[in-house]
Amino acid sequence: MQKSFTFVLLQVYSIIFLTVGLLLLIFTEKVSLFTMYGADGKITSVIQQFLGSAFILVGLLTFLIKKLEGKLLYYSILAFNIFGFINLYLLFLFNKAIQLPYIYFSFQVLMQVALLFAFIDQMKKTKWK
Cβ(73)–Cβ(65) under 8 Å? yes
pTM over 0.75: no
How many C-beta atoms surround the C-beta of residue 37 within 10 A?
Answer: 8
Q: Distance (Å, rounded) from C-alpha 63 to C-alpha 6?
A: 12
Q: Distance (Å, rounded) from C-alpha 52 to C-alpha 69?
A: 29
Q: Distance (Å, rounded) from C-alpha 66 to C-alpha 43?
A: 35
Q: Residue 126 gets which letter from DSSP?
A: P
Q: Give the number of C-alpha atoms closer than 13 A to the C-alpha of residue 32, restricted to the C-beta side.
A: 20
**pLDDT digit string (tens) for the chain, length 129 residues:** 567 888 888 888 899 989 988 988 888 877 776 666 776 677 777 777 887 888 888 888 888 887 777 777 778 888 888 887 887 787 777 666 666 667 777 877 888 888 888 888 877 877 654
